[in-house]
Amino acid sequence: MRDLNRRFKDRRGIPVRVIRWEPESRRVIYLREGYEHECFSPLEQFQRKFTELKDDHEPVDAIPANSDKP
């Protein structure tokens, strides 16, 4: 598990904050504003549905789907 703090937007343009990457389950954990529970998505699905808002980190789509790299 690796803690993160990266901002993305979903297909509708709604921002989310990625807080954790779990390589063993290959899940991205994120928070939505106004929603109290953590959300999660398989990496492959997250790569298709979300776009990073800042260029100061490696884009999630640059991570190969078979990688353990967050």
- Each of the 70 residues of the chain gets a pLDDT tens digit; together they read 889 999 999 999 999 999 999 999 999 999 999 999 999 999 999 999 999 997 655 555 555 666 665 5
Q: Tokens for 45?
A: 């699905």
Phi–psi pair at 54, nearest 5 degrees: -115, 150
Q: How far is CA 13 from the centre of its chain?
A: 14
pTM: 0.73
Q: Give the C-alpha separation, 29 to 68, whole Å.
A: 15
- By the 8 A CB rule, do 39 and 16 touch? yes
